[in-house]
Chain A
Amino acid sequence: MKQSHIRYSEKLLEILFFLCAAISVVTTIAVIVVLAVETYGFLKQVPVTEFLFGTLWTPLLEPKSYGLLPLLSGTMLIVVGASLVALPIGVASAVYLSEYASDKTRRMLKPVLEVLAGIPTVVYGFFALTFVTPIIKIFLPETHVFNAASAAIVVGIMVLPMVASLCDDALRAVPASLREGAYSLGATSFEVTTRVVLPAGLSGIFAAFVLAISRAIGETMAVTLAAGATPNLTLNPLESIQTMTAYIVQVSLGDTPAGTLTYQTLFAVAAVLFLITLVLNIAANSIMKRFQEVYE
């Protein structure tokens, strides 16, 4: 009697735990269904060619126009700018951490990176608006109050800790014997790093880059606060622009009734955002997996 009771409750617990794990799958399905249904409703009214290739995004003004390209170009400006900041600095810090720093220095620097990574994005937005933009204006007075450049710089700072720590992991996974071999042939630390360690860790570094780009695309608060709310098909980082994420925030700050076309634009834009980041994340994960196998 007791025995079967125990077996019963054991099975029940297992099912309960499985349901907890299954919530993650349900979440994914819910995201896909929600985005797909509303995007479908949106595309019934706006032709997909206009949505993807139109050059004017004015869903909140008359005449309404639903061309995504200005939001995409805004997002790309942020991504390019943030990459210019985060990728070189991230790799150089990773090289310092893994090739030069003593254990003691590492233990001091790692928490700094962790704190930088833990600062909320709204704080970076404040920083961009009140500190970075005034500095840019000193050098380039024609800069707008809201501009892509200052948002891109702080987004770069935001993703920097992630790039540095993922690259650090990649470089530290390079076997010490490779370095020792090169040093014993008389190579300098510069030559060992650039010709042996970096090439060996390249796939890990590349995965870090892809993840950083994905993060920059999905970043919301800093670009909402600092980059402006002007869908603008431009390559000039000193102008006000709007990213996909900032548009979503702009609409939800107002009161948009469900079922309207404006409400559906939220989901259409979010669907594009979701697809782009999903592809990048899957790519990064598969690159990392391959690179892990090499050294196991």
Chain B
Amino acid sequence: MSSSAESNLAWRHRKAAVFKGFCLTVTGLAVVILVVLLYQVSVIGLPWLDGQFLSSFPSRFPEKAGIKSALAGTLWLVSMTAMIAIPVGVLAAVYLEEYARPGRVTEFININIANLAGVPSIVYGILGLAIFVRFFALERSVISGALTMSLLILPVIIIAAKEAIRAVPSSLRQAAYAVGATRWQVVKAHVLPSAMPGILTGIILALSRAIGETAPLIMIGALTYVTFIPEGPMDEFTALPIQIFNWTSRPQQEFHELASAGIIVLLVVLLMMNALAVYIRNRGTR
């Protein structure tokens, strides 16, 4: 009897060990996928990545093609999106955390923001097409793209900024109020500075999302073949992910290789932003 109980126990422990091994393997799979993806892209793309690639306009001939206009367009798009979305997002968070009285209206706005964060990006593209491109007749311009992108990343910024503001100890606020500071003085001099690392992390992650988004830009008609650099907010533009999409959707192998080279540039930019966000977050928590 006891020997069967012992073997049963051994069996149970073996089962647990197998289960642990399974979970470890599967988790390792995520790492493997990331490595394979990066390896694949680098092997195909690196030979194409040179100064000529960065400084040329797109072309029908793969060996002459480059991402100059795409890089410039992405830079335009991100800076304008940042100028619109950062102030609006942070101030909205300030309102919801520092000013709004708890109640139905505030609750509704908060639920609404949570739901907006889950709306597919292409629906924002449709909205941008109907409102900015057609209704306000901004056409396929950088400003149409930036406004659309701003709506897309606003929920991300607001949610991150709200969390950062909520983490500020209320003793800080009370001390400032006690010496007679007004609400805005409290926010400006105490709440925002001490919530800044969290807010900045959220902003960087939101902007890196704006850099990588493709679908909304296709919707508002960002062009795929642009051989000039936008000089103002009303100019037409292309962006890095659009250029990558365009090259990927062509059948020729050379264009796939160009797409890889474009992806390397895109991923390097995003990884640097990610690293910056992690750095700020770690410094902030210390």
Contacts and interface: CB of A to CB of B under 8 A. Distances in A.
Interface of A: 6, 9-10, 13-14, 16-18, 20-25, 27-28, 30-31, 34-35, 38, 88-89, 92-93, 95-97, 99-101, 109, 111-116, 118-123, 125-127, 129-131, 157, 160-161, 164, 188-191, 193, 211, 214-215, 217-221, 224-225, 245, 248-249, 252-253, 258, 266-267, 270, 273-274, 277-278, 281-282, 284-285
B23 A120 contact: no
A28 B120 contact: no
B158 A14 contact: no
B143 interface: no
Contacts, number: 246
Interface string B139-168: 000000000000100110010000000000
A120 B215 contact: no
A120 B212 contact: yes
B122 interface: yes
Contacts of B256: 126, 129-130
Contacts of B123: 31, 218, 270, 273-274, 277
A93 B112 contact: no
Which 4 residue pairs spanning A and B have beta carbons closest together? A218-B120, A120-B212, A17-B95, A96-B23
Nearest to B259: A126
Interface stretch (B48-56, B62-70, B126-134, B228-236): B126-134
Given A112-B34, A221-B214, A266-B126, A190 B19 contact: yes
Q: State which size class the interface on B falls in.
A: 35 or more
B156 to A, nearest CB: 12
A16 B19 contact: no
Nearest to B182: A10
B172 interface: no
B215 A249 contact: yes
Given A277-B120, A285-B111, A285-B115, 12 more contacts: A17-B92, A20-B92, A93-B26, A96-B23, A97-B27, A99-B23, A115-B271, A118-B209, A120-B241, A258-B134, A266-B126, A270-B122
Interface in B46-90: 87-89
B121 A122 contact: no
A23 B20 CA distance: 48
